[in-house]
Amino acid sequence: MSFKHWSIVSFIIILLFVTACSNTEEEGIREVDAEAVFAMNDAGGELEVRFFYLDPLEGTEKTGLSTLIRTPEGQTILIDAGIPSVGPLIDDYLSRLDIDTIDYAVASHPHSDHIGGYTTLFETKKIGKLFETDLPYDSNLYIEYQDLIAEKEIDVEYVEKGNTFELEEDMTLEFLNPSQEKIDKYLDIFDDFSAGIINDLSLVAKLTYKDTTFLFPGDIYDAVESELVNEYGEKLDVDVLVAPHHGQHTSSSKKFIEAVNPEITVIPINLLYSRTTYEDYIDHGSEVFVSQFDGNVLLITDGNVIDVYSEFEKAEKVSN
């Protein structure tokens, strides 16, 4: 991972202050503008990654995650779509950004907190291509999801470890997990896959834009983290990491954190699962953003400098 400057810009309604928050001699800034997370960026030549805050509004249901990527040339990639009830919220977020077409939709694995919102988006947005794994899974939601794919004639491409897509100049999307061999091995042993197996068969995607790298590891557990570290080594060293499995204690092993070595870690969840995991990333020196406390989070990069915008003022204390 190249050592680069990045700044955090945190947006709240009533506070304005400037602080140093940089990994180099340069100063980062922190200022106020609550609308900037959804502002249109017309500068061009920049990659935008938005980690949506899936606020349930009522109750304490865990809503999953959804991440929108907009490329310098204007292509859109959506990685996962939360639970079914937040589908309209994601649809609204996309509409606020004038997005009617999702060029690439990614379903990391078929659990409800990752594919649920797609049952709305398949109805309201045009989907260019859907990347997913070919896994056996039995749930009413997954049946509905598959029926909508057929009804809307969505172009599906089953992907696996080793598949790499050149999205545009200087930008690649590479899948590091799972291999078809691993899927077939489980199929030889089990008739039905447990929740844990499904999680471990999550798509793990690495996005590279020039000198800036992102890792989206789905819900993999620590055993698969270890496999990836042993196989890929320094290739896992990225600038931005989405904490595996929503920051739960099943994942984010010390070995994995050290190998990935993220400058920025995002835990895109409305209810923080593990304070210990959060603190492990902090102790490693990563700047950590949690949807529950930071709201919607936007990263903008020209391929070298990363600017981070959060919707809320970061809470001083993070607890379970």
Burial class (CB in 10 A: 0-12, 13-18, 19+), 110: buried
Q: What is the mean pLDDT of residues 10-20?
A: 34
Indicate which CATH number applies to the domain containing 85. 3.60.15.10
Answer whether residue 263 is part of any domain.
Answer: yes
The answer to whether 121 and 78 are in contact (CB under 8 A) is: yes
Residue among 6, 40, 24, 63 nearest 269 (CA) = 63
Answer whether residue 78 is part of any domain.
Answer: yes
Answer whether residue 281 is part of any domain.
Answer: yes
Q: Which of 98-102, 246-250, 255-259, 312-316 has the lowest mean pLDDT?
A: 312-316
Q: What is the mean pLDDT of residues 284-297?
A: 92
Answer whether residue 315 is part of any domain.
Answer: no
pLDDT of residue 18: 30
Answer whether residue 320 is part of any domain.
Answer: no
* Consecutive H or E run containing 195: helix 195-200
Per-residue pLDDT tens over the stretch 231-259? 999 999 999 999 999 888 899 999 999 99
> Rounded to whole angstroms, how far apart are CA atoms 186 and 192?
9
pLDDT of residue 269: 84
> Rounded to whole angstroms, how far apart are CA atoms 27 and 21?
6
Answer whether residue 131 is part of any domain.
Answer: yes
pLDDT of residue 190: 85
The token pair at 130 is 């859907």
Q: What is the mean pLDDT of residues 72-83?
A: 96
**Reported confidence tier of residue 312, pLDDT bands at 50, 70, 90:** confident
Query: 22 pLDDT exceeds 50?
Result: no
* Residue 21 lies in domain: 6-310
pLDDT of residue 34: 57
The number of folded domains in the chain is: 1
Per-residue pLDDT tens over the stretch 119-150? 999 999 999 999 999 998 989 999 999 999 99
Answer whether residue 318 is part of any domain.
Answer: no
Answer whether residue 317 is part of any domain.
Answer: no
